[in-house]
Amino acid sequence: CEQCKLMGPKFSKTDADILFSSVSGGKPKIAWPAFQTACRKIAKKIGRQTSEVQQSVAACGGPMHTGTQADAVRFHDDKSLYTGSHADTPRTAADRHERLAQAGAVEEGADEIDWAGVQAAFSNFAGKDDMGSHEFQMLCEQCKLMGPKFSKTDADILFSSVSGGKPKIAWPAFQTACRKIAKKIGRQTSEVQQSVAACGGPMHTGTQADAV
């Protein structure tokens, strides 16, 4: 991002860290499809076309090494050494999760209806604990939220953006997820709420025993 001149006032090193986590699903590395998603997100972040970001990356070609980089690597890896504009970078895993969760937040909309039915469905899908990515995928699929504008891959990315890299999400993060789903599929949050509330809970379709 730095050498391809994508960074600036609208996209800092901290923003790059947050964006990387949102597409990596909490993993230390990303594959090609996730990098493509990252390019689209960078374009949206800096207010440019994806094609412009593509051209910048293609023109860069590869890393430009400028002598011994030992100190720079140490500075990058040890967040406690950050100063100036980077001093607010999360220094622990907990801090990072909190920062990512805040970055993924969406403001409450005026169209929202009562959340009671949605919360009941959330509890039914999540079970005794908070909701994991598998339960989240199942809810989105069974509540008929998935389609051309919202795929299983989109659901994974969205889950990571509201979980802050954690394996499960609590109720407030799920509310944020509903708002983000509505924005993603071009519907009102109230419509997503109604779909989830109407679903009620997981529908198991396993083999049933014959009546005795």
Q: Picking from 19-23, 100-104, 204-208, which range would have the lowest pLDDT averaged per residue?
A: 100-104
Assess whether pLDDT exceeds 80 at residue 14: yes
pLDDT cut 70: percent of the chain above it: 74
Q: Please, which pLDDT band fits residue 109 given cuts at 50, 70 and 90?
A: low
- 147 burial class (0-12, 13-18, 19+ CB within 10 angstroms)? exposed
Q: What CA–CA distance (Å, rounded) separates 205 from 156?
A: 23
pLDDT of residue 85: 45
Assess whether pLDDT exceeds 60 at residue 54: yes
Assess whether pLDDT exceeds 70 at residue 92: no
pLDDT of residue 139: 96
Question: Whole-prediction pTM value?
Answer: 0.50
